Chain A
Amino acid sequence: MTAEFSTPTQKPALWQPNRRRSRQIEWLVRVVCFLFAAISILTTLGIVLTLIFETIDLFLDPFFRQALWIERLPDLLPNASEAQIQALSDQIQDIDPKQLIDQAETIGLEPPSRIAGFFYALKRFFTDTRWTPLFKTADFGIFVLISATLLTSTIAMLVAIPLGLLTAVFLSEYAAPSVRQVLKPVLELIAGVPSVVFGYFALLTVTPFLQGFIPPLQGFNALSAGMVLGISITPLVASLSEDAINAVPQDLRQGAFAMGATKRETIQAVVIPAALSGIVASIILAISRAVGETMIVSLAAGQNPQPIDGSLGFINPFIPVMTMTAFIVQVSLGDAPFGSLAYKTIFAVGMSLFVMTLTLNILSYWFVRRFREKYE
């Protein structure tokens, strides 16, 4: 009966698959694919550990112990005259921070501990009102950079929110399918333009154009960088908001129309409130993107950290500022040697940037989950 199948000429392998080998291959493929999936976790781990270690390394830099030492001199030597203190602080100032401990004996005083230096650095990082880490008398006020980032991001959102939302409403509620078919690719095209190209546009086209209307506008400024940044994230706001608006069931619109509402009233009173969680989430994501954007702001917004003081330069959109990302680019272009103060500083700035964007991303995710209207 089965003899026909078991003759050697009938390719028995076809009927008797090597299940053992199949299982081995299956296992191998699973393991390899699992390892590939695990790379994403390694990436996150790598980012977090790198940023944390280098940031801590910055705060432990002897530079801060030296600065704290000088600051404490009047307390350490309460009986010394002002001239003595000045001479001593000059002497300490001249020490290369790397040899602080070796040279401490020549001063005859105990330098502050590593822990004290760490907390002093932390304090400087959050309370300094200037950002001059590459100077001899360095200041590390991260809020100088954060304020510039917030300035460009705010201008960007002032452009992107109205443009993106109106575009989303237009595409989902008004546009005929034929119009949509033209407009959607245009939006995708804007989203696909590399940011360095937008940087070119902001610096060499938009700034000269705006200077025609606003004479005090300088060659590098937060205004044109922010505006172009806003255009570049408009597609993000538009497409995510459109998804949220499209998810609102048709019944709700028809209900509103049946009550005698006009189309605009329906959109404003029914559709947008119903899609609000998705819209807000898209806006938060766009803010996160604006905060992390690099090329536009480092090309067009300038490299001048504005001190946080009464002159209010840090909220002036007409003058050059320096965002967090622009600082990282500036130092990277200067080829900072490994282990130098500048090298560690870019990781501390990166850490601040990472914390900000991560918070925004989580907020956006949480917002959708928490406030989503569920329709059956």
Chain B
Amino acid sequence: MASSNSDFSPSQPVVGPAASFVANLPKRYALDRLFLVAAWVAMLIAMAVLGWLLLDVLDQGLGRLNWQFLTSFPSRRASNAGIIGALAGTFWVMIIVAVVSFPVGVGAGLYLEEFSSDNWFTRFIEINISNLAGVPSIIYGLLGLAAFVRLMEPITGGRSVLAGALTLALLVLPIIIVATREALRAVPDSIRMAGLAMGGTRWQVVAAHVMPAAISGILTGVILALSRAIGETAPLITIGALTFVPFTPGCTEEFPYFNPLDLLRCPAEVLQSPFTVMPIQIFNWISRPQPAFHENAAAAIIVLMVMLVMMNSLAIWLRNRFQRRRE
């Protein structure tokens, strides 16, 4: 009885839940401003770090970036070294990753979205794919080492372009599958209904009507997946890509050492060749003690980042086209 009275007695200081009813507005607004400032600061820190990184890389690397650097093989002398081997390796690996992961990823997306009924098996595949997306990339490297380098050695030729590309293709499959499914889901059902009503089979409807509507969304996803693959280092180190490669895959001996036709002329010399890629070359140069190699690393980072920006711009352009058409 006494305690319930004291709760409402004005002489007592207000405590507990009642405290929040005190309209101490100046203090509360001050806290609000503080919070907003903190949010701004967090945002600015993230941006400032990115700016710092980019400026530092440009500062270190621009001086080293010249034609000789782009067209030379690696060397023990930092000033003679170049990235042509890594560039050719990256091109080849990316081509094969695209050739393998595009049909497989899109096919899997089509199956899940267009051809399957909602049963336990489909759900199992879905859960499985979202789990695969969370597996660290270095684990894919271990899989590649055991499966592609060792088990399939007669086909891949060991630590080769093909083994590396297959490993990366598995790594980016979940990205492509998810993107494909989202693009397919964005296609209105009325288009499917209309096609089916005209007597088309599901595949005819998908191939003639759904895919053309979804293709730019799918391609956006594929490019984003490739831009993830192009920067991946860990899985390729694990499968044993070389760090010093004074040659390029394929049978083109003269500049620019890279000819897509090699894939038809001498597929084994391309696919089974040892290789290096840009991120591994960068890793190798960073881990050397001499500062001159660090400048090489910065210059190679600039090249890699330019490639990434170009790929992302293409993806954004495709996405915008896609969005405009839907409106």
Q: Which residues of A contact B (CB under 8 A)?
A: 17, 22-23, 25-26, 29-30, 32-41, 43-44, 46-47, 50-51, 54, 162-163, 166-167, 169-171, 174, 183, 186-187, 189-190, 192-201, 203-205, 231, 234-235, 238, 260, 262-265, 267, 285, 288-289, 291-295, 299, 325, 328-329, 332-333, 335, 338, 346-347, 350, 353-354, 357-358, 361-362, 365
Contact = CB atoms under 8 A, between A and B. Distances in A.
> Most chain-B Cβ atoms within 10 A of its Cβ — which of A170, A203, A285?
A170
> Most chain-B Cβ atoms within 10 A of its Cβ — which of A43, A260, A263?
A43
Contact of A205 (B52, B147, B232, B312): B52
A264 B135 CA distance: 37
Mostly helix, strand, loop or mixed at chain B's interface? helix
Contacts of A46: 143, 146-147
Nearest to A288: B134
A260 B24 CA distance: 12
Given A194-B232, A194-B279, A163 B45 contact: yes
A232 B140 CA distance: 21
Complex A-B, nearest 7 residue pairs according to Cβ-Cβ distance, in ascending order: A292-B136, A194-B231, A166-B42, A36-B107, A33-B111, A294-B234, A170-B39
Contacts of B177: 40
B98 to A, nearest CB: 15
Interface string B28-47: 11011001101111110111
18 contacts: A34-B116, A37-B108, A40-B129, A41-B124, A41-B125, A44-B131, A47-B140, A170-B40, A171-B43, A192-B308, A194-B279, A200-B57, A200-B282, A262-B31, A264-B32, A295-B233, A295-B279, A346-B238
A235 B43 CA distance: 11
B202 interface: yes
A217 to B, nearest CB: 18
B237 A43 contact: no
Contact of B46 (A198, A231, A294, A346): A231
> Most chain-B Cβ atoms within 10 A of its Cβ — which of A39, A332, A354, A365?
A332
A51 B142 contact: yes
B201 A23 contact: yes
A96 to B, nearest CB: 23
Contacts of A166: 38-39, 41-43
Contact of B204 (A22, A47, A197): A22
A186 B46 contact: yes
A162 B41 CA distance: 11
Given A26-B202, A200-B297, A332-B141, A40 B136 contact: no
Mostly helix, strand, loop or mixed at chain A's interface? helix
A236 to B, nearest CB: 11
Given A39-B173, A194-B233, A34 B115 contact: yes
Interface string B94-109: 0000000001110110
Interface string B230-265: 111110011110010000000000000000000000
Contacts of B131: 44, 358, 361-362
A208 to B, nearest CB: 11
B197 interface: no
B174 A190 contact: no
Contact of A44 (B128, B138, B294): B128
A37 B142 contact: no
B67 to A, nearest CB: 23
